[in-house]
Chain A
Amino acid sequence: MKRGQDKLIMKIKRMIFLVFIIMNLVACSSEPECFFGDSVKLVKAINIGSSDYFIYLRISGFHEKETFYELYENKPTFGECRQSNILSISDVHVNLSQGVASKLVVDNRKLSVVYIEGSVQKINLKDIPIEVKSLTNKDRL
């Protein structure tokens, strides 16, 4: 009996919720809004030449997660869906089918990941060692 009442209450609540949705749809744009949001974390701010650069770790997706590093020339802000207000100057996907990510390389303002194959200790991708290899002409000025 109680279970039946609960189900009825739930149905009523769902109907009310439907009204909320319809009300919101009236004011809604056709562009998808965020629902499954990315997770974005600052890995490190690095100084190359006289400029500061910012490296972020992005984890995205719902049932299949994928991870990326992004390099920004200025400190970005992340709004809806964790989209940045400025474009990254480089990005790289962490492809774990290539092995364990052991190092992040910044070379001429481009990112790449160094992998190690075999059974090695995995590192937290937010704490990955970073190697800055060379500077661009712009950075040398």
Chain B
Amino acid sequence: MSINDLIEKGNQCLEERENIPGAPLWHMGKVAVFESKESFDLLQNTIDYLTCKGKLGKKFSDDEKEFMKELFEAMWWGGNYRGYVEAAKLANHYVNGEGKSLRINPKVYNKSIIVSDTMAALKGYIKEKSTNNKPIVSIKTSNQVFLRSDYALSLKQGKRSAIRQGYLINDGALLAEQSNLGLKNADHRFYLSVNTTKGSNFFMSKWSVNSVYDFEPFEKNDITDLDLTKEFVLKLPDGLSNYLTIIGIAKAFKYSASWNETWTR
């Protein structure tokens, strides 16, 4: 890249742009269905321009705010369409939820390999504690005694494929298996909690996950690829998504899911 190119790139958002596209969803649809390069370039150029403004800490105009809000709303359409129902719901809530807590469908968790394996390990751990008359009421995967137990051993890195099966991180968080696209895009790393009561010959457990929805700032340089088609991949910097909270378009929020299980001793 020449010095002139660098100067031009550096100055790309010093002058205000007027042609902010009014309906990103429309353009995303045009790219997804008709492979429209014109619409793709318009979207990507606008994202690049707003990223530049965000990095400089500049205010967004009403049209620019509307564009970003609609981009996240468009993810609700795109995410649902492609089968990422919970990730879609979370993206929409980021710009429309006013920071309120959100409950999501527990299926996104309890169909996962790492969650199923951890539930089995925790049940073994609970059974053993119960047999030894120790308290079993509330346990989280970050519990140090559980993490050091034999039950947790087979869940750790080195004992399984992080990509294909997910694993239990040393701080007790579960890392989603990468084949589970629905989970990793809704919640990549999370703690599993369980509240259990003991019956005569059974246990009743309430499993739950509590997470926070937010994005890393520009300094981290993370970028999300939005695959509109195989050829047209929109690059959305996470820093820009984070910047939306600073200019009042979006709010970070807590989200959770829970499910009940009765199991025998």
Given known pairs A32-B181, A60-B178, the reply for A37 and B23 (CB within 8 Å) is no
Q: Are A68 and B162 in contact (CB under 8 A)?
A: yes
Interface residues of A in 100-114 (CB under 8 A from B): 112
Other-chain residue from A10, A35, A66 in contact with B23 (beta carbon distance below 8 A) = A10
B23 & A13 in contact (Cβ 8 Å cutoff):
yes
Q: Interface residues of A: mostly helix, strand, loop or mixed?
A: mixed
Task: Please report the total number of A residues contacting B with Cβ < 8 Å.
Answer: 43
Whether the Cβ atoms of A95 and B157 lie closer than 8 Å is: yes
Q: How far is the CB of A13 from chain B (nearest CB, A)?
A: 4
**A-binding segment of B46-54, B127-135, B145-153, B212-220:** B212-220
A10 surroundings in chain B (CB, below 8 A): 22-23, 26
Contacts of B75 in A (CB 8 A): 35
| Chain A residue at minimal CB-CB distance from B223 | A39
Contacts of B82 in A (CB 8 A): 32-35
Q: Which residue from chain A places its CB closest to the CB of B169 in the assembled complex?
A: A95
**Taking the complex as formed, is A129 at the interface, i.e. its CB lies under 8 A from any CB of chain B?**
no
Q: Do B84 and A35 touch across chains, with their CB atoms under 8 A apart?
A: yes
B-side interface size class: 35 or more
Taking a contact as CB atoms under 8 Å apart, the answer to whether A61 and B170 are in contact is no
Chain B residues 82 to 138 lying within 8 A of chain A, measured CB to CB, are 82-84, 87, 90-91
Which residues on the B side are within 8 Å of A6 (C-beta)?
Answer: 22
Residues of B with C-beta under 8 A to A13 = 23, 25-26
Which residues of B lie under 8 Å from residue A91 when comparing CB positions? 161-163
Min CB gap B194→A, angstroms: 22
- Give the distance in Å from the alpha carbon of A20 to the alpha carbon of B36 in the complex: 14
Pairwise interchain contact A63-B90, C-beta atoms closer than 8 A: yes
Chain A residue numbers with a CB within 8 Å of B181 are 32, 34, 36, 81
Closest chain-A Cβ to B51's Cβ sits at a distance in Å of 16
Residue B60 CB within 8 A of the other chain: no
5 example contacts (A-B, Cβ-Cβ < 8 A) are as follows: A32-B181, A39-B223, A81-B181, A92-B162, A97-B171
Interface of B with A (CB < 8 Å)? Answer: 22-23, 25-26, 29, 32-33, 75, 77-79, 81-84, 87, 90-91, 157-158, 161-163, 167, 169-171, 175, 178, 181-182, 184-189, 213-216, 222-227, 230, 233, 238, 241
Additional pairs, 11, CB under 8 Å, beyond known A21-B81, A23-B33, A35-B82: A21-B77, A25-B81, A32-B82, A35-B78, A36-B226, A37-B227, A62-B224, A80-B227, A88-B163, A91-B163, A93-B175
Residues of A within 8 A of B (CB): 6, 9-10, 13-14, 16-17, 20-21, 23-25, 30-39, 58-66, 68, 70, 80-81, 88, 91-93, 95, 97-98, 112
